[in-house]
């Protein structure tokens, strides 16, 4: 049977599509890096992670004798990611970078193909954690680890942080600083942090204080343009301050007003959660559950 003109066009089109797919798949062929390391005498670790365009998961490692385990997939035409771990005076120093643009200039690498990395970190020694992202999709679960201090800085990012189980030690300070981002934080009471700072530029923040509050915690939430949703378990001793602004709508339910943008929980016993929320332009919703 002689092919019709439409069939010929269809075949040519499909051949073109398959050819393009082959070119794209070849251009973005990936290499993989798999590595792990023992503690090597470290009784604490400073972790510095600096990643550009990346899809990332981070969680605790199952083996208590290990410092880290990494599976990293990157483009064939790229350099091997930089990784270094050494122990000095019983302190481990872990450095990991993919050498891409710094997160402070996220739009410069917005169109780049993202690398993919799964990171597992030690769960048996205290970690001082500093993580910088560029354009990213990041899922981080710090549950069951020993986090003494943690700082996250993001560019254009979808960032989920969870303390699915309690931090094993007290955390001095937890900071999240975002550019254009969607941020979700779950079970924040489990962080055992004395100070929490959440600073967003443009986007949304969903913050859940689930878990058990075992020490006083001071929280400062500040956003430029976007929405803030905060959920607090009933029975948690809480004071909320929301400076009033005609550019920001504030909706607080489940707490009684003391006037001047100050709200209190009915419960006044146990460790106290103090939350201060500032939003330049957007909406703030605070709920008890």
pLDDT of 19 higher than 50 = no
Do the Cβ atoms of 42 and 87 come closer than 8 Å?
Answer: yes
Q: Structure tokens of 104?
A: 């402070």
Task: Please say if the pLDDT value at position 49 is more than 70.
Answer: yes
CA distance 191 to 168: 9
The proportion of the chain whose per-residue pLDDT surpasses 90, expressed as a percent, equals: 70
Q: Which residues pair with 4 in a beta bridge?
A: none
* pLDDT greater than 60 at residue 139: yes
pLDDT cut 70: percent of the chain above it: 84
Looking at the DSSP assignment, which residues form a beta bridge with residue 197? 175, 220
pLDDT for 115 equals: 87
Q: Which of 129, 155, 137, 114 is nearest to 60 (CA)?
A: 129
> Is pLDDT above 60 for 83?
yes
pLDDT attached to residue 29 = 60
For range 71-77, the mean pLDDT: 87
Residue 252 predicted with pLDDT over 80:
yes
pLDDT of residue 246: 66
Answer positive or negative: Cα dihedral of 134, 153, 168, 189: negative
User: For the segment 95-133, what is each residue's pLDDT rounded down to a tens digit?
Assistant: 999 876 544 444 444 445 578 999 999 999 999 999 998
Say what the pLDDT of residue 100 is: 61
Q: What is the CA radius of gyration of the chain?
A: 23
Taking alpha carbons only, the member of 92, 89, 111, 284 closest to residue 200 is 284
Which whole number is the average pLDDT over 166-181? 96
The model's pTM? 0.84
């Amino acid at each position: 049977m002689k092919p019709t003109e439409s069939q010929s066009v269809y075949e040519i089109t499909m051949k073109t599509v398959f050819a393009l797919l082959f070119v794209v798949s070849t251009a973005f062929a990936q290499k993989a890096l798999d590595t792990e390391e023992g503690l090597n005498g470290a009784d604490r670790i400073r972790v510095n992670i600096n990643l550009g365009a990346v899809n990332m998961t981070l969680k605790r490692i199952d083996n208590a004798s290990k410092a880290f385990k990494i599976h990293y997939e990157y483009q064939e035409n790229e350099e091997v990611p930089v990784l270094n771990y050494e122990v000095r005076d019983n302190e481990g120093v872990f450095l990991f970078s993919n050498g891409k643009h710094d997160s402070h200039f996220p739009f410069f690498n917005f169109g780049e193909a993202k690398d993919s990395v799964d990171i597992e970190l030690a769960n048996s020694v205290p970690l001082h954690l500093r993580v910088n992202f560029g354009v990213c999709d990041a899922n981080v679960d710090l549950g069951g680890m020993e986090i003494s201090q943690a700082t996250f800085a993001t560019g254009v990012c979808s960032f989920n942080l969870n303390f699915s189980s309690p931090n094993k030690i007290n955390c001095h300070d937890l900071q999240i600083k975002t550019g254009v981002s969607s941020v979700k934080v779950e079970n924040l009471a489990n962080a055992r942090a004395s100070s929490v700072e959440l600073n967003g530029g443009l986007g949304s923040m969903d913050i859940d204080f689930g878990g058990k509050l075992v020490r006083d915690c001071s929280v400062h939430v500040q956003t430029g343009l976007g929405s803030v949703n905060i959920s607090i378990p009933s029975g948690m001793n809480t004071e909320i301050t929301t400076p009033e602004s005609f550019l920001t709508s504030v909706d607080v339910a489940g707490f009684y007003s003391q006037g001047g943008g100050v709200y209190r929980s009915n419960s006044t016993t146990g460790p106290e959660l103090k939350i201060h929320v500032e939003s330049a332009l957007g909406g703030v919703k605070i709920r008890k559950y």
